Amino acid sequence: MHAAIRQEIDMSDTGDAFGNIASWGFAIAGTLYRHDAYIPSAWRYRPGLFAGTLKRDEDYEGGMLEDLLAAGEITLDDIRDAGAVIMRYWSTLEIQGRAY
């Protein structure tokens, strides 16, 4: 996972592992969707009614990804790679019974 994305994920961790992972997972998929980029079908992402818009006051994670993209610090491939890591962790939390 790209270090800049990992740093943002770590900084937003409030101790709720599944909540943090879910927030970032949806933000990653939403960012890829907004940029009309490939989203792996295994993620089972289905965009919601307002998926094409970013409301920064409601989507800290998506805003951070957009800022990193705009600054040229990360690419859409970096975001997709981070999503793959997030989805593996998500599955692990489900297996451990820590998902809700």
Provide the residue ranges of all domains of the chain, joining segments of one domain with +. Answer: 3-40+61-95
- Give the model's pLDDT for residue 54: 66
How does pLDDT run across 17-73, given as a tens digit for each residue? 999 999 999 999 999 999 999 999 999 998 887 766 767 777 889 999 999 999 999
Region 93-99: what's the mean pLDDT?
A: 95
Query: Band of the pLDDT at 7, cuts 50, 70, 90?
Result: very high
Q: What are the E-state strand segments in 2-95?
A: none
Between CA 89 and CA 91, with CA 31 as vertex, the angle to 5 degrees is 15
- Give the model's pLDDT for residue 55: 73
Instruction: Return the CA Rg of the chain.
Output: 13
Q: Is residue 22 within a helix (H) or strand (E), and if so which, with residue range?
A: helix 17-34
pTM above 0.85, yes or no: yes
